[in-house]
Every structure is written in C-alpha cells, then in structure tokens.
Amino acid sequence: MGKFGFLVHPLSIEDVAKKYKIARKVSPKLVAGVLKRRRPFVISEATGIISSTGAEAKGWFIAVPLLPHQMLELDEEFVIEKIVKACKIARKRGARIVGLGAFTALVGNGGRRIADRIDIAVTTGNTYTVVTAIEGIKRAAAVMDIDLSEACLAVVGATGSIGSACAQCLAPEVGELRLVGRNMERLEYLVGEVKRISKKDAIISTDISACVREADVIISVTGAVGDVILPEDIKPGAVICDVARPRDVSQRVAEARDDVLVIEGGIVNVPGDADLNFDFGLPKGMALACMAETMILALEGRYEDYTLGKDISVEKIEEMQELAKKHGFELAGLRSFDKAMTPAQIEEVKRNAWSHKAKFH
C-alpha cells in the first residue's frame, strides 16, 4: 500500500475556529500568537483511496499551525523548521512522500529547502494543479461558448510556478495573452520563455485591475493573503478559474456579478471510496489537485522529489496527466464558491452575460 503525508494549515481565523471555537471570541493577534507556539499535529487519516489499477494508498494530513500571513512574515528559518517537524511526523506514521499544501509550498524556495532537510520525498502538488487548471478553464470556456482561439486570457500571478506553467501551455491556444505579476523583471523573463516555446507574444503588467478588465478568460493563482479579483473589474461573460488558496476572487463577485462564471480550480474526484476524514470544504470523495498529486505518486510507488521550485516542465505536466488518468483521478464538475454548479445555473449566467453585453452595445 502506498503511504503519503500532506501538510495543511489554517487559511483564516474561521478555519482555526472549526477546531477551537474560542478563536472567534479573542483577538486575531492572540490567535496568531498561540498558533506560533503550537507544534504540528495529525488532523486526520485519509482512507479508501483505490486506483483503477487496484493499487491502494492511505495518508495522514498534518497541520502546520500558522496562518498565511505568518508564513510570509515570520522569520523564514522558523517557518521552515516548523514545516520540517510536520514532515517528520508524517514519516513516523509511515509516509514515504509528503505533499506541501497551500503556503507551505511557497516558503523555502518552493519546497527545495524542506526537501534538503528530510529523508522522504517531497512534492508541492503544483504539477497536477496545472493540469486541472487548464482542463477546468477549457471546460468552463466551452460551456460559456467562448472560443479560446479568439479570447483574451489573463494569468494573474503569472510568475509563480502554476501561473507560469499555465501561461506557457495555453499561449498557443488563445487569441491574446496578458501576464500579471508583482515583479516586472520576472514578467519580462517569462514573456521571453513564452515566446521561445510558443512563438506567442504577451502583454505584461503589474496592474491587476487594468488587465482583468480586458480579459475573457482569467486564471488567478497568486500567493496573496486577501482578495485580488474584484467585481467591478470583470468583463460581462468572463470566465475565471480561481486556483489560489486562500481564494483570489472576492466573495463579493458571487453576490454582485451574476453574469460571470467563477470556478474553483484544482478540485478532483479521487478513485475508490476515498474519505479524507476532515472537513476541507469538499464533498466526500473529492480532493484538491495538490493533495491528489501526492496520492498519485504514492499509488505509483514514485517515492522521489517531484514538483519543487518555480519551474514545471511541459513534459512533467504531460506525465502527471497520464498518471492521473491511469489511476482514475478526474476533474470534478464545475464548482463555484464551494458549491457544484448545475447546467441550469450556468445557462442563467450565460443569459445574464448576454443581457449585460446588450446594454453596453
């Protein structure tokens, strides 16, 4: 049986309050202070993961008790040490590979410094997240009758590993490409890579609002702590694939824009009778793609460092796509703000989009 560990952490005070209700009654600063002193711990054991090949896997989810802003603001060495301790807990349980979830994948040079300090394999899960983000945006564009070859695609968070890989893979298939990031020098490097691989040019910018307003299709995958995609910036009829955790798309979009389709990126059905035995905000049998990549590697017996750092090759993306298919993992239906979307709801979004477009033409 394949055995894996996966690291998670609270994305908000609300997440902390799911386990410790008192967190809602005290100051966020006090909650953060308590978390900082807390040791990593096991929160659940995932069971029932059975591949189409018959292979089985189980794993342990280990909580790294730090909030997103603490992952970014505390001394990096302190954060890395806490993540390493969590990895060692997974190893003691029997895991032979550990996945780095959410912000634990951002620190330490995309997991490289963590991998250097432990003697089991490490992956961020970002390769399968790229696979599912691309599949998701293509599926969503199709149901909204958007022809990608004529569409403007904006990748927000383009210089990160997931954004960069999505941009390079989708560049040949879209009409126009806009890359948004915080660092212009890194954007210039990325546009050079996109040109080299696909012969496609791209517009680069650090202004999220300006780029998003022109886009028909948006993939957002920043490491921001707060919202970056706001309702007033989105074009009627646009499709947004929000891959980030915490989300990049403001909850206000769900409330104020009934003419745009927001889907959650990177959510997959896990084969077998899988139960993560913890409320990650997903129905039983579903997991985030980053979790799934770790499961797939355990099922495959590939106990080696897999996705680390900022660069994800096209070859690795294709390999993970094949491995996922082999073991029976597949993209879950279109989901938006924690809920599955029905065909009727999607048709309503399309009607609203046409209505809004008619008003402005």
Averaged pLDDT, 213-238? 91
pLDDT at 142 over 90: yes
| Tokens 């990177």, located at residue | 266
**Range scoring the smallest mean pLDDT among 151-165, 244-258, 282-296:** 244-258
pLDDT at 163 over 90: yes
User: Which pLDDT score, from 0 to 100, does residue 318 have?
Assistant: 94
Averaged pLDDT, 222-246? 89
In terms of DSSP bridges, do strands 239-242 and 217-220 run parallel, antiparallel, or are they unpaired? Answer: parallel
Among 196, 197, 243, CA closest to 223: 243
pLDDT at 122 over 90: yes
The phi and psi torsions of 330 (rounded to 5 degrees) equal -150, 155
CA 127 from chain centre, in angstroms, equals 10
> What is the distance between the alpha carbons of residues 256 and 258, in angstroms, rounded to a whole number?
6
> What is the distance between the alpha carbons of residues 130 and 163, in angstroms, rounded to a whole number?
8
**Range scoring the smallest mean pLDDT among 12-16, 50-54, 288-292:** 12-16
What mean pLDDT value characterizes the chain? 93
Among 109, 160, 156, CA closest to 137: 156
- Report helix, strand or coil for 289: helix
> What is the distance between the alpha carbons of residues 199 and 213, in angstroms, rounded to a whole number?
25
**294: alpha, beta or left? (left if phi > 0; alpha if psi -120 to 50):** alpha
pLDDT at 108 over 90: no
pLDDT digits (tens, 9 = 90+) for 164-186: 999 999 999 999 999 999 999 99
pLDDT digits (tens, 9 = 90+) for 286-320: 999 999 999 999 999 999 999 999 889 889 999 99
Q: 184 to each of 179, 187, 200, 207, 352, how far by Cα in Å?
A: 10, 5, 18, 11, 36
Q: How confident is the model at residue 192 (pLDDT cuts 50, 70, 90)?
A: very high
Task: For residue 356, count other CB atoms closer than 10 A to its CB.
Answer: 17
| Tokens 């996945």, located at residue | 99
pLDDT at 331 over 70: yes
